[in-house]
Amino acid sequence: MGFIEHIPGTRPIPIPERHPESKGVGVLGLHEGRTLLLAMERCSSVHAVAGCDLNEEKLAASKGERPDLFFTPKYEEMLGRDDVDLVAIYTPDAHHGDHICKAFEAGKDVIVTKPIVNSLEDAARILETGRRCGRRLLVGQSSRFFEPFQRQRRDLEGGKFGGLCGIELVDAHYIHRMDWYYRKSPWATTETDWAFLGMSHPVDLVRWYLGRVAEVSAYGRTSAMGAEHGLVGRDIYVVNLTTEDGRIGRAMGHYGCHELPRARNCIELMLYASGGTSLAQYHDMRYVHSGPAGGPAVPTGFDPAEMAEVVEDYLYAGRQYYFNSEVHGMHYGEFANYAEYFGRSLIDGTDASPGLEEGVETYCVMEAVKRSAQRRKPVAIAPLLKEVGL
């Protein structure tokens, strides 16, 4: 067994043995997609075979890092290759629909980064094309696949804190200063909206726990930073969500703020359940939950299960796997985790979440967020689901 280049002072990442039915992956869009291209060394059920980008510099940079792979600026050329089983899409939001449909038509399964799509037409189109071509899709909801969020989920699924049925309130946010992003990716100011680009994280996290959302009530506005960069939509959102049976959640986003990362991580998921409370954080890689703490009870008269706030911190152990010891916040580990999970589900023929239908449903919730903020009225999800064919 080999190891990914080892950075002293960190835990080495083993290169796992390749599964005999491992899926060949072609990556489209080599900025954020470059992360997956490199991260697949951590996987056994998928392996990188090709990369594609219109931009020659991006192509050359990835080629320099993986000279063994096939690179092209032409998407059709990558889709035509027999060794590409699976296409992973990391192009600007507004192009996802087109790129997903082309992959389905070419007989490929798809990983698409969040947000799955950002228009009603594209949502209907990918659903129809995926069903007609019999292909599968996973939305790369990176937050779900980060260490603390995985552990939090496993605890709830295992019945801790009253289990999934015991959840009484879901509270998620994604806040991030984004002026740097407008300079790097000008499409973010005019071709999408933060209801999709940013809110895809907290909305997906809330939906992950609440199930099908029935109605949203959202407020939104544009920050001074957003306006300064010519943002056409809103970059501040506060959203309340509810299900048919009255369970409730809250999602919040701010993309023109001055951050206080020590006080509040950029992505957090707080679950208030009947038997306890838990918090997963990105990117400090902490999982915080109510007790019990380790060791025997001391005779104070308090129940140790109720008084302890347990902090599990994976940053030091996990930073090479998740961040490649680069900037605090790169996505190597999460991307590897979801690619491995999807590859495994394709090999075993099992379901993977969030898949095509769930992803389109979450798109409808984000669309409702945008409409609710525009109209200053609650918006029901059912008519949108019907319109896209769900």
Ligand X SMILES: NC(=O)c1ccc[n+]([C@@H]2O[C@H](COP(=O)([O-])OP(=O)(O)OC[C@H]3O[C@@H](n4cnc5c(N)ncnc54)[C@H](O)[C@@H]3O)[C@@H](O)[C@H]2O)c1
CB closer to ligand X, 55 vs 274: 55
Q: How many CA atoms lie within 13 A of 390 on its CB side?
A: 22
Report which secondary-structure segment, H or E, holds 339. helix 332-348
| Residues 178/235, Cβ–Cβ less than 8 Å | yes
Output 65 or 348, the one with its CB closest to ligand X. 65
The rounded distance, in Å, linking the Cα atoms of 183 and 180 is 5
Nearer to ligand X, 174 or 287 (CB): 174
Strand 109-113 to 46-52 pairing: unpaired
Q: How far apart are CA 83 and CA 151, in angstroms?
A: 34
Tokens of 215: 């109605």
* Calpha distance 217→253 (Å, rounded): 14
Interstrand relation of 379-380 and 167-175 (parallel, antiparallel or unpaired) = unpaired
* Amino acid, single-letter form, for residue 47: H
Nearer to ligand X, 113 or 290 (CB): 113
Considering the complex, state which of residue 161 and residue 196 has its C-beta at the smaller distance from ligand X.
196
Question: Rule CB under 6 A: which residues touch ligand X?
Answer: 28-32, 52-55, 58, 75, 90-93, 95, 113-114, 140, 142, 184-185, 197, 331
3: three-class secondary structure by DSSP: strand
* 290 vs 362, beta carbon nearer ligand X: 362
Considering the complex, what minimum distance in angstroms separates the CB of residue 298 from ligand X? 43
- Kind and range of the H or E run holding 289: strand 286-290
Judged by beta carbon, residue 23 or residue 95, the one nearer ligand X is: 95
Q: Which is nearer to ligand X, 47 or 58 (CB)?
A: 58
> CB of 278: closest distance to ligand X in angstroms?
22
Minimum distance between the CB of residue 136 and ligand X, rounded to whole angstroms? 19
Q: How far is the CB of 61 from ligand X (least distance, A)?
A: 10
Least distance between ligand X and beta carbon 244 (Å): 30
Identify which of residues 95 and 136 has a Cβ nearer to ligand X in the complex.
95
Kindly give the interhelix angle for 120-133 and 356-375, rounded to the nearest 10 degrees: 170
Rounded least distance, CB 54 to ligand X, Å = 4
CA 288, CA 292: separation in Å to the nearest integer? 12
Q: Please report how close the Cβ of residue 45 comes to ligand X at its closest, in angstroms.
A: 20
Shortest Cβ distance from residue 119 to ligand X (Å)? 13
Measured from the CB atom, is 31 or 177 closer to ligand X?
31
For tokens 């056994």, name the residue. Answer: 44
Residue 88 beta carbon to ligand X: minimum distance, rounded to whole angstroms: 10
Going from the C-alpha of 275 to that of each of 197, 244, 246, the distances in angstroms are 34, 23, 19
* Burial label, 321 (beta-carbon count in 10 A; 0-12, 13-18, 19+): buried
**Rounded least distance, CB 363 to ligand X, Å:** 13
Taking Cα atoms as reference points, which of 351, 356, 326 lies closest to residue 112? 356
CA distance 115 to 96: 8
* Burial class of 169 by CB neighbour count within 10 A (0 to 12, 13 to 18, 19+): middle
Residue with tokens 């990362």: 261
